[in-house]
Amino acid sequence: MTPSKLNEKELNQADRKKIMSALFQDFVIQHGQTALVMLGRMPGTDGQLMTDPDPEAAKTLIDQLEMLRDKTRGNLIPEERDLLDRSIAVLQKDFAKTMESMAEAGSQEPIKG
């Protein structure tokens, strides 16, 4: 997941819908990347994986993406909807894997939600 970047020339030629779509997609990607960092599945800005994952923080970000999907239902273009759906599915899978790994290591009590 890499945020798309609109360069200045594209911004000058873009209409409001295109700009809002790019910003929406960047928002989803950034939330997803942050959740993956919190799960210890993606390096942070320092280039290192978290040695002590924070699944509660990741769950909050995943829940926020689910809320966003529910609140925007019927208002997204297919590209936005697909990105949001795929991001949530990947994050839920990685969250489950992280929780399983932590449970096996005995380092985390279950998170309800």
pTM above 0.75, yes or no: yes
Q: Give the pLDDT confidence score for residue 97 in this predicted structure.
A: 95
In a domain, 75, yes or no: yes
Domain tally, the chain: 1
Residue 33 vs residues 12, 15, 65, 109: alpha-carbon distances, Å: 28, 27, 12, 24
In a domain, 61, yes or no: yes
In a domain, 85, yes or no: yes
In a domain, 96, yes or no: yes
Q: Give the pLDDT confidence score for residue 2 in this predicted structure.
A: 55
Residue range of the domain that includes 32: 23-101
Q: Where on the phi/psi map is residue 27: left (φ > 0), alpha (ψ -120 to 50), or beta?
A: alpha
* Secondary structure class of 9 (helix, strand, coil): helix
CA distance 25 to 34: 14
Reported as a single tens digit per residue, the pLDDT across 47-104 is 999 989 999 999 999 999 999 999 999 999 999 999 999 999 999 999 999 999 989 8
In a domain, 13, yes or no: no
Reported as a single tens digit per residue, the pLDDT across 11-54 is 677 788 989 999 999 999 999 999 999 999 999 999 999 989 99
